[in-house]
Amino acid sequence: MMCENCGKRPATVHYTQIINGVKTEMHLCEVCAKQKGTIEFDAPFSVTNFLAGILEPAFGPQMIKPSFEMQITCRGCGMTFEEFKRSGRFGCAMCYNSFSEKLYPIFRRIHGNTKHVGKIPTKMGENIAIKREIDKLKIELNIAIKNEEFERAAEIRDKIRELEKKLSRE
């Protein structure tokens, strides 16, 4: 087999990639493989495809008439939501806020979740930890009220107030 790039030398380097179950092969000679610098698995392409698949059912119909949709642009990097959809990549940390509303269905599709419950960086951590604790206590409070455990509910309410005071002091 000859190299697919130059057609001059025999192909000795063989790459295989599987995208959505479709197998694509690439056969290159040593020289052309070296010029390419490395094995290019073309990951961004596969992720884009993957994302497009995820996005279609949610946004498909609306996307056909883009004139009805306001173009959202990230204040941080200038990326548009269209551009994000095409590349499958965010342009900067602010994109998350800029596209905020549109991200919930996407994250739900990918992760089945829209809220991080894992590690909190220690530097910015304390406030977040307190807020998380308050959220948890509020759920407990509702349960206590539902079960008519009013003494316990009062206890929890005090704890929440105390934590909220701590937050506002920051």
Partner 1 sequence: MDDVVVTSRIRLARNLSDVPFTIKMNDYDAGLVIERVRDVISKNKQYKFDFYEIKKLPFLKRQVLIEKHLISPALVSAKIKSAVAIDQNENISIMINEEDHLRIQVLYRGQNIQRAWEDANRIDDFLEGHLPYAYDETWGYLTSCPTNVGTGLRASFMLHLPALTLLGYMKEIIETITKLGIAVRGFYGEGSEVVGNLYQISNQITLGQPEEDIIANVVSITNQIIEQERQARLKLLSENRSFIEDKVYRSYGILKYARNISSNEALKLISDVRMGISMGIIKEVTIDKIDVLLNLIQPAMIQDYFGREMTPEERDIKRAELIRKILD
Closest CA to 15 of 38, 44, 45: 38
Query: Angle 134-145-157 (CA atoms, 0-180°, nearest 5)?
Result: 35
> What minimum distance in Å lies between the beta carbon of 132 and partner 1?
9
Which residues 6+ apart lie within 8 Å of 78 measured at CB?
A: 91
> What minimum distance in Å lies between the beta carbon of 154 and partner 1?
29
Rounded CA-CA distance 7/168 in Å is: 70
Q: Considering beta carbons, is residue 116 or 136 the nearer one to partner 1?
A: 116
**Binding residue for partner 1, selected from 7, 8, 41, 66, defined by CB under 8 A:** 41
Number of residues that bind partner 1 (CB under 8 A): 52
The span of 29-37, 60-68, 142-150, 151-159 binding partner 1 (CB under 8 A) equals 29-37
Helices 100-111, 43-64: inter-axial angle, 10-degree rounding: 120
Kind plus residue range of the DSSP H or E element containing 18:
strand 13-19
Select the binding partner of residue 63 from partner 1, Zn ion, none (C-beta < 5 to 8 A, by kind): none
129 near partner 1, rule: CB under 8 A: no
Binding site for partner 1 (CB under 8 A): 12-13, 16-19, 30, 34, 37-43, 46-47, 50-51, 76-79, 87-93, 95-97, 103, 106-107, 110-119, 121-124, 128, 131
